[in-house]
Amino acid sequence: MHDSTPIHVGIVGARGHVGAELVRLIAAHPRFALAYVGSRELDGQRLADHIDSYRGELRYSSPANDTLPALGADAVVLALPNGKAAACVAAFDAAIADHASARPGFVQPVIVDLSADYRFDDGWYYGLPELTRSAYAGQRRISNPGCYATAMQLAIAPMRGLLAGPVQCFGVSGYSGAGTSPSDKNDPDKLRDNLMPYALTGHIHEREVTRQLGHPVEFMPHVAPHFRGLTITANLHLAEATTLDAVRARYREAYAGEPLVRVFDEAPWVSRIAGRHHVEIGGFALSEDGRRLVVVSTEDNLLKGAATQALQNLNLAFGLDEMTGIPP
Catalytic residues: 147
Question: Residue 147 class from Cβ within 10 Å (0-12 exposed, 13-18 middle, 19+ buried)?
Answer: buried
Rounded to whole angstroms, the Cα distance separating 47 from 227 reads: 23
| Residue at 205: amino acid letter | H
Buried b (16+ CB within 10 A) or exposed e, 299-312: bbbbbbbbbbbbbb
Rounded to whole angstroms, the Cα distance separating 198 from 206 reads: 13
Rounded to whole angstroms, the Cα distance separating 81 from 300 reads: 19
Give the DSSP per-residue string, 45-114: SBGGGT-TT--S--BEE---GGGGGGG--SEEEE---TT-HHHHHHHHHHHHH-GGGS-TT--PPEEEE-
Contacts of 164 (CB under 8 A, 6+ apart): 237, 238, 239, 291
What is the pairing mode between strands 125-126 and 196-197? unpaired
Closest listed residue to residue 178, CA positions, set 216, 225, 210: 225
